[in-house]
Amino acid sequence: MDPVLKQSFVAAELLKCIHIGLLCLQEDPAVRPNMSSVAVMLTSDTVTLPQPTQPAFSAGRIVAKSGQSSSSDSKVCSVNEVTLSDMSPR
């Protein structure tokens, strides 16, 4: 954690936001909270949050040297030329 940021937030609130974010990433859409539930979770201190399950997927990072691409048939999209995003559908 960046020491400069450490003074600008409450750790419990940060963990609560991460927990709610993980609930929104659950593999089964039926168990993900709807937006009204998320709003209640964010504003209430008394709501007990359910345990999230393992997220459905993880997006990895590909770091390439200048001029190198991850695939010859895909368009490489990078704003900062540090990471490469392969834009292809599932």
Compare 49 and 56 and report the one with higher pLDDT: 49
CA 56 to chain centre: 12
Q: Measure the CA–CA gap between 63 and 40, rounded to whole angstroms.
A: 39
Per cent of the chain over pLDDT 90 is 31
C-alpha torsion sign, points 63, 22, 32, 16: negative
Strand order of the β-sheet with 62-63 is: 62-63, 83-86, 76-77
72 backbone φψ class: left, alpha, beta (φ>0; ψ -120 to 50)? alpha
User: What are 3-15's pLDDT values in tens digits?
Assistant: 777 778 888 888 9
Nearest to 32 by CA among 15, 46, 50: 50
